[in-house]
Structure 1
Amino acid sequence: MSSILTNNSAMVALQTLKQVNSNLQNVQGEISTGKSVGSAKDNSAVWAISKVMESDVMGFKAISDSLSLGESTVAVARNASEKVTDLLTDIKGKIVASQEENVDREKIQTDIKALRGQIGSIVGAAQFNGLNLVQGTDDVNILSSLDRSGSGTVTASSITVSRQDLGTSAGTNGVGSGGTDLSGQILDAAAGSAYSGGTLSATGNTAVIEFAQSDGWDAGDSTTISIGGQSVSYTSAAADQTETNARDALLTSLQALDLENVTFASNSTNQIVVTSTRAFEALDVAITDSVSGGDGNTYIHTINGAATGNTTTESGAIDQRAEEVFFTTGAGVAEGNSYQASIGGKAYFYTAGKNETFEDVARGLKTAVDSAGIEGISTQVSINASTGQASLKIDNSGSDQALATAAMDGGTASGGLFGLDAIDVTTNGGASSALANIETMIQSSIDSAAAFGSAQSRVENQSDFVGSLIDSMKSGIGTLVDADMEEASARLQALQVQQQLATQSLSIANQAPQSILSLFR
């Protein structure tokens, strides 16, 4: 049935043309924008995912800038630490030269002062955009990542860079500042309890070797005394020799050893007194008796009253002259813990920084005491090879001084180069203590440079990763929303042909009712 009111063919052709035009418009939009999903109406799920990823890309671009800034800041600190190490090495060379007494120490001290000033200038200038990592102790966090969980929660991650204080300040003492008593960390070696103090005396320590017997010696009977690894012997040449004969012969032989800082004397008819003024070294003493025959003689040769019988050896030791202050192995050191040694009523202190050990504390306290330049006072740090326990030895070659110790928290950390300002090589004592202390400072600056080098490497690696991650995320977003231009081009040509055909089809359909007019002629 034909109708002039309803042209079904035209309606079908018109709908086809509309669909073709719509598809053609979409393809033209893809070609012009380069995106297959340009808005939420194109594909809401894909569009939402792409927008989240695009926001992450913008965040990671900001993180990349943060990492670049942090890397530059750490690089400045590393370069400063390395330069400080070089200058400290130069100072060490000057200090070594000052050990000779026939050099111009005043000129050497002038050179050291100039090098110290250069170190201070470098430490003060080692900042990037106002941030200086070689001053202070607070950690610095560099934004390094945004971590998105499966639930959509986003958290920021940071790379923590520890400041390495290369300042020379003494910090502040925690004692009396309302802190906590930490005196249990300073131990008496014998009792294992809190150090109760002592006297720094120049008088040497002694051992008394006593000779006693119930009968005279037989020919061939002998006694050997070993002192500090060297030995002397007496052998009876005839029967009925007295202990006085043995003592006098052994005394003469001992004195001939000419041991450094060791003297020998007799104080009774049958005693030899061994006196050691060695500051930081104990002196081993041993005595051995050998009886030639079974005559029943009994020899009671003693060291400080401890007896030895026939064919046996009695051993002992003369303690070092220095007082030794031990630090506990049962606790750690916290930043702000302050350790104090009072000599002759005047206190000298060191306040620990972050991540320091008791070895650092011992060396810091040594520097504090050495920097005071107390006449006759010398120090040495000792680390027990088996237990790792640190101790500070304090010796006195002058007049007697009282020694007391204390430890409290609540202080402000001393600088990593604490004691540098106090180096003075114009005296024998100053030159000697400076040589040990400069080693500690050089190690501090080396450790600082190494720490910054490690941090810089980590920041660089993270920066490279973030750059790669940004590229990967951009590629992923493109995969989701970018148009396939080859496909779009082919579709465009096909749709253009379809459009032409649909137009012609609609034209033919619109002409169909014209045939009805011929029925009315």
Structure 2
Amino acid sequence: MVSSILTNNGALTALQSLKVTQRNLLETQNRISTGLKVATAKDNAATWAVATSMRSDIANYKQVSENLSVSSSILKTAETAATSIADLVKTIRTKVSSAQNPAVDKAQVQADIDAALAQISSIAASASFKGVNLVNNTDTQRVLTSVNQQDGVSTAAYTNVVSRNLAIEDGATLEGLKSLTVLSRADQTFVNTNDGTAKITLTVGATIGINNGNELAFKYVDTTGTDRTLTVKVGKNITDIQTLTDYLNADKGFSALFQADRVASAGTTLTTNSITISAKDRDTVEAFGSTVSAATTYSHVLVMSAGTGALGTGFSGVTSLDGGVRRLDVNFTNVPLQLGDTFEIKVASTLTNNDGAETAIYKLKVVSDDYTTGQLLVGDSAYSNNDNVYVIAVAASQVTNPNVSGLDIANTLKTALTTGAANVALTGEGVGTAATADFVSATNATTTTNAVAGESFGVYVDAVTGKLSILSASGVADRLFSFNSSKTDYQTLLDKIDQATLDVENAAAAFGTAGTRIDLQKDFLDKLVDTLTTGLGALVDADMSEEAARLQALQVQEQLGTQALSIANQAPQSILALFR
């Protein structure tokens, strides 16, 4: 072998071997420090590309899973709200059923129902999670459930969650509960409990001679047509009409069935010698007086007995009073009527229609402005000539606006009744004839009821109090039974509640189903992430046991290489010995 001081082949060989060893050692150390055998593209370009794509998928699936966690919470919030609302609807059902008990205070029951309805509205408004509310709108929420990869193309997968508007408002799912009430419309639209009930006027003297120990007997006919008598025992001397009025209303027996009121000639001006006796329940008292041969008479409505005295100055020895003007008085609240509200006026007259019948029902129905007030609704389902029921339109725009007053409502219904009854009479129907209208506009609420002979009833609205009065003149056998409004039908209430229950249960079930699907999808994505992570590890993770053994081998090789290089570097020193 050539000895040269210019070229040290042994050192070169040793250096190259050492460089390879150090490079391998560095690679091993990188694998140990990173835990990866493919950390960069130069480690293995193909594997690195696959690993990078897998890491992207894993990160995306993790984000979708987090999104699903939020969506699951949103649905659980909605499901909880729907379940709570379903419980409240169940409570409302029991309240409605309890109101069918005649001993229950319906006003209190209605207050409980209103509180439950208010709570439903509150729940629907507040059941949101991170600003998303699924129970107060009908929007469709798109929930990202996955991002699928096929041939290098990413495709998003969604599931649609339909919101349910469980609020109590127009257009909402539970709008049928908005006007739910166990109170009749009469209870809501009339001011007084005896508004629209049968009334009769009794005229006494300015000075009354009712003595302690007298008994006052009030005769009336119940709704079965049976004659009844209510007796009030007098416990003190009564000498004026106000004291008589107060005493009667304070008597438990009398006040349970009837109410006594002073008569106002106009506005709030009281007459000096008249009171009205009215029924408190429209469905209990049909008329005052007694029946004779199927006809109602108004003689001896009030009879005094069991003592001495008289019912009025100038009536010495008179112990009974005949009924005078019969009337129906109605005071309306300053609350707008609703589309579909119906008021029924039941009357009977000595004037007969073409069928020979005497009793008729006139219905005043609030309808759209396609009809004018007073127009006959011949096509209405409630209209039947055979049953002597006549439906008359009340234009909604006149009675449903927010600023309508009780006086406005009274005047509109007066127009509807007088105009509509005249239209009925023109057809040869009703309780009048084509030549005589059934209802005419009276000018005075106390006495003027028949403007023209042969007409049955006068209709009057007091401009001061807004009271609507329908009257029949003294001595005429025309009968006024009741002025009533739409009654609350228990079955109708149950139907509304059944529908609300079904809607809420369907909503809760839909939220539960969607929540279950999202939870299942989240579980799948979590498992998929684990599987992909395992696969990624198989591709790029370093085998630490292998790398540890390799590190020791390379460290030995590095030491040997260093030693070999050191020996090779000593070779030129031996050449100096040749020159000594």
Q: Distance in 1 between matches of 2:16 and 2:551?
A: 19
One of 465, 476, 497 as aligned partner of 2:535: 476
2:134–2:165 contact (8 Å) kept in structure 1: yes
The equivalent residue for 1:138 is 139
- 1:447 paired with 2:447, answer no
SS in 2 for 1:488: helix
Q: Distance in 1 between matches of 2:531 and 2:339?
A: 58
The equivalent residue for 2:10 is 9
Q: Distance in 1 between matches of 2:95 and 2:81?
A: 21
Q: Which amino acid aligns with 1:127?
A: S
Q: Which amino acid aligns with 1:168?
A: I
SS in 2 for 1:157: strand
Q: Distance in 2 between matches of 1:89 and 1:371?
A: 28
Matches within 5 A, 1:16-165: 16-150=17-151, 152-165=152-165
2:78–2:134 contact (8 Å) kept in structure 1: yes
Q: Distance in 1 between matches of 2:339 and 2:500?
A: 13
> Aligned-pair distance for 1:373?
4.9
One of 431, 434, 437 as aligned partner of 2:493: 434
2:138–2:165 contact (8 Å) kept in structure 1: yes
Q: Distance in 2 between matches of 1:57 and 1:19?
A: 37
SS in 1 for 2:488: helix
Q: Which amino acid aligns with 1:509?
A: A
> Aligned-pair distance for 1:157?
1.7
Kindly indicate whether structure 1 or structure 2 has the higher relative contact order, using CA contacts under 8 Å at least 6 residues apart. Answer: 1
> Aligned-pair distance for 1:169?
2.7
Taking a change above 3 Å as real, the CA distance of residues 396 and 479 of structure 1, as seen in their structure-2 partners, is: farther
Taking a change above 3 Å as real, the CA distance of residues 12 and 66 of structure 1, as seen in their structure-2 partners, is: same
Taking a change above 3 Å as real, the CA distance of residues 430 and 113 of structure 1, as seen in their structure-2 partners, is: farther
Q: Which amino acid aligns with 1:472?
A: T
Q: Distance in 2 between matches of 1:394 and 1:445?
A: 32
Q: Distance in 1 between matches of 2:50 and 2:392?
A: 76
SS in 1 for 2:170: coil
Q: Distance in 1 between matches of 2:79 and 2:341?
A: 33
Q: Distance in 1 between matches of 2:3 and 2:339?
A: 117
SS in 1 for 2:144: strand
2:117–2:168 contact (8 Å) kept in structure 1: no
2:121–2:167 contact (8 Å) kept in structure 1: yes
Q: Which amino acid aligns with 1:71?
A: S
Q: Distance in 2 between matches of 1:164 and 1:373?
A: 29
Greater Rg over alpha carbons, structure: 2
1:99–1:428 contact (8 Å) kept in structure 2: no
One of 526, 542, 545 as aligned partner of 1:486: 545
> Aligned-pair distance for 1:506?
2.1
2:343–2:486 contact (8 Å) kept in structure 1: no
Q: Which amino acid aligns with 1:121?
A: S
Q: Which amino acid aligns with 2:163?
A: R
RMSD of aligned C-alpha atoms?
Answer: 2.8
2:120–2:167 contact (8 Å) kept in structure 1: no
Q: Distance in 2 between matches of 1:371 and 1:113?
A: 21
Q: Which amino acid aligns with 1:142?
A: V
Q: Which amino acid aligns with 2:33?
A: S
Matches within 5 A, 1:177-188: none
Q: Distance in 2 between matches of 1:134 and 1:58?
A: 32
The equivalent residue for 1:225 is none
> Aligned-pair distance for 1:9?
2.4
> Aligned-pair distance for 1:396?
6.5
Matches within 5 A, 1:420-431: 428-431=487-490
1:13–1:509 contact (8 Å) kept in structure 2: yes
Q: Which runs of 5 or more residues in structure 2 are unaligned?
A: 173-337, 345-362, 364-379, 394-484
Matches within 5 A, 1:183-198: none
Q: Distance in 2 between matches of 1:402 and 1:21?
A: 107
User: For 1:215-238, what per-residue CA distance to the aligned partner results, in whole angstroms no more than 9, with x for missing partners?
Assistant: xxxxxxxxxxxxxxxxxxxxxxxx
The equivalent residue for 2:563 is 504
> Aligned-pair distance for 1:509?
2.5
Q: Which runs of 5 or more residues in structure 1 are unaligned?
A: 173-369, 378-392, 404-425
Q: Distance in 1 between matches of 2:536 and 2:49?
A: 11
Q: Distance in 2 between matches of 1:458 and 1:434?
A: 36
User: For 1:403-457, what per-residue CA distance to the aligned partner results, in whole angstroms no more than 9, with x for missing partners?
Assistant: 9xxxxxxxxxxxxxxxxxxxxxx97534331112111111110111000010111
Q: Distance in 1 between matches of 2:512 and 2:342?
A: 39
Q: Distance in 2 between matches of 1:13 and 1:33?
A: 30
1:98–1:431 contact (8 Å) kept in structure 2: no
> Aligned-pair distance for 1:518?
4.0
Q: Distance in 1 between matches of 2:381 and 2:74?
A: 42
> Aligned-pair distance for 1:50?
1.8
User: For 1:119-149, what per-residue CA distance to the aligned partner results, in whole angstroms no more than 9, with x for missing partners?
Assistant: 1111111111111101221110122211111
The equivalent residue for 2:235 is none
Q: Distance in 2 between matches of 1:110 and 1:76?
A: 28
Percentage of pairs with the same residue: 42
